[in-house]
Amino acid sequence: MSAVIRTVNLVKIYQSGGVPVTAVDGVDLHVGAGEFVAVMGPSGSGKSTLVHMLGGLDARTSGEIWLDGKRVDTLSESAWALLRRDKVGFVFQFFNLVANMTVADNVELPALLSGATPKQARERREYLLDALGLTERAEAPPAQLAGGEQQRVALARALANEPSLLLADEPTGNLDSRNTRDVLRLLGEVHKKGQTIIMVTHDARVASLADRVVSLLDGQIVDDGVIPVTRRRPKAGAGDVVELRS
Amino acid sequence: MSALRASGRWIRADLRARRGQALLTVLAVAGIVTALITSATLLEDNTNPWRGLFTQTDGAHVWISAQGPLDPAPLAALSGVTGVAGPYRSAPVTLTENGRRTPVALRGLPAAPPEVAHPVVLEGRWLDLADLDGVVVERSFAQAAGLRLGSPFQVTALNGTRHMLAVAGIAETAEQGFYPEWTPGLAWVLPETLDRIEPAIGRSQSVIGLRLADAEATRLVVQGAVTLLDERIQRIYTWREVRASMELDNRLLGLLLALFGAVGLAAAALAIVNAVGARVLTQSRDFATLKSLGLTRRQITGMLLVEHGSLGLLGVAAGLLCGQLVTGLALNGGAGPPLSFVPAAAITTGTALVVLVAVWLPAWRGGRTPPIPATPAAPPRGHLSRLARLAFVVRLPPALVLGARDAFTRRVPAMLTTFGVAIPMMMITIGLGCWATLDNFLAHPEQVGQAAALQVGPGRLPSSEAERLINADPDVAAVYPGTEVDALEPEQTRTVLARAVGTSARPYPFVVVEGRPYADRGEAVAGQGLLDLLDLKIGDRVRVTVGGTPLILRIVGRVVEPDQDGEVISFGLDSLAAKDAMPPEFYSLVLRPGVDPEAARARLLAASNQDLEVRRVVNPAERLAVIRVVIVALSVVLALIGLANLLTASAVGLRDHALDLAVLKAMGLTPRQVTATLVTGTGVLVVIGVVAGTLAGASMAGGLIDLQGYTSGVGAGIGRTPSALTLAVVMLLAVGAALLVALIPARRAARARVPVTAR
Ligand SMILES: Nc1ncnc2c1ncn2[C@@H]1O[C@H](COP(=O)(O)OP(=O)(O)O)[C@@H](O)[C@H]1O
Ligand SMILES: [Mg+2]
């Protein structure tokens, strides 16, 4: 299995008021194409820091990051930005959408950024919003959407350019159970189509959707394993999955 | 290219979300650029019509009036003289028109226009032998006297005979300044006509103009002419005085506009830094999102630069247009071309640069927003200060305490806001100071050296009869006989106005700012302009020549002198030789307080059966009335700038507190208290800014106006600070308007459902 992302002894030390805080402490991670990895751990264990470094939002202190077989930890901030347009999609817990722009514009942005014509971007947006059942909200500002809707739009936007890697930092952390289910359904669906996903969560039930769970503690990987066969997932399985294109 | 499209979407969306603020930016910048363009146009030399007129008319550099006939040959032979205009005979006559009597210099010119200093006909035609009753009138005088083509032109010669002429043409010339700055008014007739109107050579003058090879060489030529003509010289002046008289008002306005424009530009730059900075702060989360999508640092900076910069540039362009329009409207009185290319380009690029730098600073900061959306720029946290704790203990309203504390949590924006309000306020106060000074001119003309409201010439009456009529009028409080003569200054290169009025025993009530009034024969007071011109101090002696008689005067005081750029020397009639002093040329009448000068004038005219010449003294404030328009316009622009700063401040305040609102409400603050907290946050800064700005403006206004008075020759001592009441009202208005502006968004925020989200 070829690695989409690979880290070697990855370390992040924050200088917080002169005191060094080691947020990520020598992480070796290897995620293959099409894998769905859940990252778990208590609050402050370095999950967000790790994911931010994988997407180039934060610079590593030492170690290596390889994305699609290319070393990327040495890239500059703007080179990272260019790389993200095509290869990395992000979904965060909050603030995923540009507040001033309509839902439609928000979803069209990545396509425009990667060089699509306005027409192509519009077609892609129409397809994605249709799949999410949000066509009617296309012209609304994000603030008028419910939390679950916002996260689904964010997900649509993150997937708009079919990135090699989808990074999600507690995408359901702010949602009630119904909305959580909607978002997870969508994630499961894209995973089935071969999308590589790394998702941070502290919710065991959410993590159970993944193929593999990585546990962090104080910035170190303390456990890395495939979900046991005795997971609760099968029961939820097939019925949960909704066709993207309904 | 791809990033351009994405940025374009974002810019469009953002502009749509804040139309009002965008418009405000455009308007503020446009206002400032308009002021700068207008001021540069007014200050620029070529708006002074003199240059154009001089070239068009092939003007003469030096003009000399002398008693009796004049032989031009020796003057033409002076070295440096390349051409001669005249000599022309010129007779003093009085134009009677609708009961008004105006002194006019009637000048005899040939039907064939001369080579040097030929007037340029604007309307009608030049003098023609076929129409001996035709007269060509100088444009500014025709305008002031309401004369048009074909208007009757009834003149009365010194011997009392009346002649009916008609206006055949209106022409411009560079041989003297514009009426009424330059008196008497000028009209041309054929020599034949002049002989008929004023046959007596002795009652007329000869006027000759000398054109020089080198405009700077006037001094030597003038000295040569003085040596040749000596006692016969009555008046002598060069192109410099003509030019200066044409530019007087423009310069004053131009300086005022330049001052306001420059300070306004600084204020506008501050407002832009402030507004863009706040906008960037509010949007840091969006920038983070955009970055996580793949926009680079430079692209975000560029996007902000394009968005806010284009607003500024739009303002510059609009201001450029407005400036052209305004100057076009203001200078339609035949004044030269609009602003030439170089200063226009300098102003455009200068303001554009200032705007771009002002935008670039916060845009650069915006580009450096970390790309992690989960970490919004939180306001710096601080402890409640000891002062605040104390305030709670003494039970000050909590909203006040919390708001006041909030005002200073962001130090730099707080300072920017305070300055952003203080600078416009300061300029508005200075503007009010100008206004108050003008009001004071009008309300107390005696404080600007115009104690006398009327000037009466005896006209055809003997002076004893004139005096009897004046003294019989019940409204006249005091009468000062006087004579104005041209005095050759010591180096004899030009004449200055010498005003003999009152007597040493009973001096005219000048406003003496330094020194004392004249109290003895040979003592004189002078305006700042004269002191500067002759490089004199109080206590110095100066030798002038009046009608050929040397006169040694000791300057004992400086007076506020609104006439002739302050280049006037005044003394008692008794200091003048008897032949020059008697009979007095005019009587300056000080009226009883509260008497309408127009009514007094009408009564005097009636009493004398229209034989007296009664003239109202023109208050300098009447000439400067346009300044009031300028002050109002600039105040509006400045208020806009202040408003922009205010909106910014309240936006930042709201943003900082959006998430606190839930907490505040949970703590038990009512929506009204929450509103009050938010309003206090900006209100405290506004109050500080307004008070500081007003105080600074008030303390500077008097000095600045005096400085202006000093440079314009009137002299220091005219500046007035707006009254305490005016200042208080303006401060209250400013603070009230500011609070109102802050109140609307604050109320909305306080009422809004608060999203409960983590930071
Ligand atoms: N910008 C920062 N500056 C200093 N310390 C930070 C910063 N971001 C995170 N940390 C610290 O790094 C550690 C890991 O944080 P984070 O990755 O956010 O944990 P998690 O997402 O697992 O809750 C924590 O101790 C946190 O306090
Ligand atoms: Mg986290």
d(CA B424, CA B643): 10
Distance B372 CA to ligand 2 centre (A): 11
Q: Which residues contact B26 (CB under 8 A, 6 or more apart)?
A: B311, B312, B314, B315, B318
Q: How many helices (H) and strands (E) does chain B have?
A: 23, 20
The answer to whether B294 contacts A55, with C-beta atoms less than 8 Å apart, is no
For ligand 2, the distance from its centroid to the CA atom of residue A9, given in whole angstroms, is: 21
pLDDT number for residue A61:
92
Residue of the nearest CA to atom 12 in ligand 1? Answer: A23
pLDDT at B148: 85
Q: Which two tokens stand for residue B255?
A: 């300086």
pLDDT confidence of residue A199? 93
Phi, psi of A142 (to 5 degrees): -55, -35
Would strands A88-91 and A165-169 be described as parallel, antiparallel, or unpaired? parallel
- The residue type found at A235 is K
Q: Tokens standing for B25?
A: 């930016």
Q: d(Cα B546, Cα B577) in Å, to the nearest integer?
A: 9
Which of B387-401, B646-660, B719-733 is predicted least confidently?
B387-401
What value does the mean pLDDT take over residues A34-46? Answer: 91
Does the structure show a pLDDT above 60 at A114?
A: yes
Give, as one character, the DSSP assignment of residue A41.
-
Q: What pLDDT, on the 0 to 100 scale, is given for residue B504? A: 85
Residues 6+ apart with CB under 8 A from B462: B583
What is the average per-residue pLDDT within B51-74?
82
Plot region of B171 (φ>0 → left; ψ -120 to 50 → alpha; else → beta): beta
Q: How many angstroms separate the alpha carbon of residue A43 from the centre of ligand 2?
A: 7
Chain A interface disruption, residue of B293, B298, B301, B375, most A CBs within 10 A = B293
pLDDT at res. A165: 92
**Residue A243 CB-half CA count within 13 A:** 3
Quick check: B384 pLDDT over 60? no
Q: Check if A16 has its Cβ closer than 6 Å to any atom of ligand 1.
A: yes
How much is the mean pLDDT over chain B? 79
A5 at interface of B, judged by CB pairs closer than 8 A = no
User: Using an 8 Å Cβ cutoff, are A163 and A88 in contact?
Assistant: yes
pLDDT at B380 over 60: no
**Cβ count near B224 (within 10 Å):** 18
Q: Where is average pLDDT lowest: B279-293, B362-376, B474-488?
A: B362-376
The bound ligand whose nearest atom lies closest to the alpha carbon of A49 is: 1
Degrees to nearest 5, angle at CA B124 with B122 and B126: 85
Mutate to test the pocket of ligand 1, among A15, A48, A201, A214 (most ligand atoms within 8 A of CB): A48
pLDDT for the residue numbered A40: 92
Kindly report, residue by residue over B572-598, the tens digit of the pLDDT. 888 887 777 777 878 888 888 888 888
Q: Of B35-49, B527-541, B625-639, B707-721, which one has max mean pLDDT?
A: B527-541
The answer, yes or no, to whether any atom of ligand 1 lies below 6 A from the CB of A12, is: no
Of residues A11 and B741, which shows the higher confidence score?
A11
Q: Is the dihedral of CA B134, B140, B143, B145 positive or negative?
A: negative
Q: Which residues 6+ apart lie within 8 Å of B509 measured at CB?
A: B446, B451, B478, B590
With a 6 A CB cut-off, is A45 part of the ligand 1 pocket? yes
What span, in angstroms and rounded, lies between the C-alpha atoms of B633 and B504?
47
Residue A197: pLDDT above 90?
yes
C-beta atoms of B9 and A108 within 8 A: yes
Structure-model confidence comparison of residues B375 and B720, the more confident one? B720
Tell me the CA–centroid distance for residue B169 and ligand 2, in Å: 90
Q: Closest chain B residue to A102 measured between Cα atoms?
A: B13
Of B14, B288, B292, the CB nearest to A84: B292
ipTM entry: 0.75
Per-residue confidence (pLDDT) for residue A5, from 0 to 100? 92
By percentage, how much of chain A surpasses pLDDT 70?
91
Which ligand 1 atom sits closest to the C-alpha of A41? 22
What is residue B704's three-state secondary structure?
helix
pLDDT surpasses 80 at A99: no
A110 to A115, B10, B304, B668: CA distances (angstroms): 9, 12, 19, 44
Residue type, B328: G
Going by their DSSP bridges, the two strands B185-189 and B100-108 should be labelled as parallel
| Helix locations, B497-596, DSSP H | 528-534, 578-581
Q: What is the mean pLDDT of residues B85-93?
A: 86
With vertex at residue B158, the alpha carbon angle to CA B90 and CA B590, rounded to the nearest 5 degrees, is 105
Of all protein residues, the one whose alpha carbon is nearest to atom 25 of ligand 1 is: A44
The answer to whether B32 touches B270, Cβ cutoff 8 Å, is: no
Nearest CA in chain B to A104: B9
Q: What pLDDT is recorded for position A12?
A: 93
pLDDT at A10: 93
Q: Does the pLDDT of residue A239 top 50, yes or no?
A: no
pLDDT of amino acid A234: 43
Contact between B611 and B460 (Cβ < 8 Å): yes
User: How many other β-carbons are positioned within 10 Å of the β-carbon of residue B328?
Assistant: 11
Q: How far is the CA of A52 from the centre of ligand 2 (A)?
A: 10
Is pTM beyond 0.80? Reply is no
Question: Which residue of A77, A82, A150 to mutate against B (max B Cβ within 10 Å)?
Answer: A77
What is the CATH code of the structural domain delimited by A33-57+76-231?
3.40.50.300
B13–A100 C-beta distance less than 8 A: yes
Q: Does A82 touch chain B (CB under 8 A)?
A: yes
Q: Is the pLDDT higher at B230 or at A4?
A: A4
C-alpha to C-alpha distance for A62 and A23, rounded to whole angstroms? 12
Tell which phi-psi region holds residue B523, choosing left (phi > 0), alpha (psi between -120 and 50) or beta.
beta
The arithmetic mean of pLDDT across residues B694-717, rounded, is 76
Give me the percent of chain B exceeding a pLDDT of 70. 84
Q: How many CA atoms lie within 13 A of B725 on its CB side?
A: 1
- Closest Cα to residue B740, out of B599, B643, B631, B667? B643
- B100 exposure class (CB count in 10 Å sphere: 0-12, 13-18, 19+): middle
Q: Which of B281, B269, B134 is nearest to B194 (CA)?
A: B134
- Split at pLDDT 50, 70, 90, the class of A39 is very high
For atom 7 of ligand 1, the residue with the nearest CA is A14
- Which amino acid, B420? G
**What per-residue confidence (pLDDT) applies to A240?**
40
Q: How far apart are CA B290 and CA B302, in angstroms?
A: 13
Rounded to an integer, the average pLDDT of B593-622 is 77
Per-residue pLDDT at A50: 93
| Res B173 pLDDT > 90 | no
Pick B669 or B223 by higher pLDDT.
B223
pLDDT at B150: 83
The answer for B 362-381 residues in CB contact with A (under 8 A) is: 370-374, 376
Which residue has a Cα nearest atom 24 of ligand 1? A44
Would you call A150 an interface residue with chain B, using a CB distance cutoff of 8 Å? no
Residue of B nearest to A108 (CA): B6
Q: Encoding tokens for residue A137?
A: 């909200």
Q: What is the mean pLDDT of residues B225-251?
A: 73
What does DSSP assign to residue B383? P
CA of A141 to the centre of ligand 2 (A): 26
Q: Which of B662, B697, B483, B449 is nearest to B583 (CA)?
A: B483
Give me B396's structure tokens: 């000050």
Q: Percent of chain B beyond pLDDT 90?
A: 2
Give the per-residue pLDDT at B154: 87
Is the C-beta atom of A201 inside 6 A of ligand 1?
no
Residues 6 or more apart whose CB falls under 8 angstroms from that of A104 comprise A125, A129, A138, A139
d(CA B639, CA A185): 56
Assess whether pLDDT exceeds 70 at residue B388: no
Quick check: B14 and A52 CB within 8 A?
no
Atom of ligand 1 nearest to the CA of A49: 17
pLDDT at A213: 92
Q: Where are the beta strands (DSSP E) in B433-585?
A: 454-457, 476-488, 495-501, 512-515, 523-526, 541-546, 549-559, 568-571
